[in-house]
Amino acid sequence: MATTTLTISSKNYSSWSLRGWLMAKLAGLEFEEVLVAPDDANARAEILLLSPSILVPCLTYDGIRVWDTLAIGEFLNENAPEAQLLPKDRALRAHCRAICGEMHSGFISLRHALPMNIKAHFPNFKVWSKAKADIERITTIWRECLDSFGGPFLFGEISLADAMYAPVVSRLRTYDVTLEPKLQRYADRIWDLPPMREWREAAEAEKEEIEELEVEF
């Protein structure tokens, strides 16, 4: 069988790379990382939200190439059903897909105002109103899921939804956003997942910096 690979970019800056990588880890997939340098023009454009990129994340499995994050999640769910990346119950599965899709296509103001930067910390960061609205919608999603499905993850057991929202956890920490206790416990649980710790340690070790994301703006 051909080597399974996952192409990703910067672990400090690339939120989409984190989503795809975390999905693969949750699926129990063994894979080799193929790193695209942050100074690659296409990778840089993806990180700075200047254009979408089909470079990252991109899963290559048994000759099959899958490059959209939601498509990667669906593929992994089919390939490793025992991991239950999507809930068994049809209604919960539909709900999970809906909030994953909302993360995939929405929250543009949050992405622009609070770009992912794991190594940075901006205390007392002023979040502008449109980004606040995105944060309020995300926290509503989290609250409703935790209340409806009992936690400790969004759909009880860990799922694609938790992987999709993991970069938000990083952003909220970087920009010093306060959460109510229940939501903070959820965010801390995601932050302390073993694969998240692995990702964070690698992010901390990165030497490359993108100047535009290292200033308070």
- Per-residue confidence band for 11, with pLDDT thresholds at 50, 70 and 90: very high
CATH class, 5-83 region = alpha beta
For the entire predicted model, the pTM comes to: 0.92
pLDDT digit string, tens, across residues 150-180: 999 999 999 999 999 999 999 999 999 999 9
Domains 5-83 and 90-199 in one fold? no
Cβ neighbour number for residue 39 with a 10 Å cutoff: 10
Provide the b/e sequence for 95-125 (b: ≥16 CB within 10 Å).
bbbebbebbeeebebbbebbbbbbebeeeee
The pairing of beta strand 58-61 with beta strand 64-66:
antiparallel
pLDDT digit string, tens, across residues 107-118: 999 999 999 999
Question: Closest by alpha carbon to 184, among 128, 143, 132, 156?
Answer: 143
What's the CATH code, domain 90-199? 1.20.1050.10
Q: Where are the domains of the chain?
A: 5-83, 90-199
